[in-house]
Amino acid sequence: MFTSPEQFANATKTLFDLQMQTFNAVASKTVQGVEQVVNLNMNAARSSMDRTLNAGRDMAQAGNPKQALDSLASTLKPDLSNAAEYSARLKAIIDEMHDEFRNAADTHVAEAKNTLSALIYDVTRNVKPGSENAVEIIKAAIENAFKGYEQVNQATRQAVQNVEAQFERASSMVTPAGAAKPAGDGGASQ
């Protein structure tokens, strides 16, 4: 079917459009994820400020030093559980973004494979005698481009896994040793 440069250009444009759609989907999800993290941080800061003000007021109203220390101790326990809850919510946001990125990438790979397969088939089907070398060069270029894309996709997945591992380490530092697991975790580790 690719008997003219215009047809080849249209197939290339289709691949480019697929890449742009994937980029737009990922960029949109990134912005949404950042908004969620900002809201989470604002709510955490507001809650922390309220607890600090209440703790200060309770300590100021304490009749003796023991009551003041008891008041301070009672405010620290919720802070540790709030840190664990914050960590769980942040992980949920990151997991949602990761799933969206993976779905966008997988969809793009499937569409690109289909388009490239059709392109290779059409190029090889309509080859004129004596043009076999040119066809092999085009096939090799297309295959190399797709392999490069797959390598970038794999590197991105590894980077996401590294970020998740670092997040897990940071979460374990924030979560107190004896604290209960956040709801929905079921105590299972990943």
- From residue 74, alpha-carbon distances to 44, 59, 179, 180 in Å are 18, 11, 15, 17
pLDDT tens, position by position, 135-168: 778 778 777 877 877 787 777 778 777 877 777 7
Taking the C-alpha atoms of residue 144 and residue 142, their distance in angstroms, rounded to an integer, is 5
pLDDT tens, position by position, 62-108: 888 888 888 777 777 666 677 778 888 888 888 888 888 888 877 87
Please name which of 84, 81, 83, 98 lies closest in space to residue 33, comparing C-alpha atoms: 98
Predicted TM-score of the model (pTM):
0.58
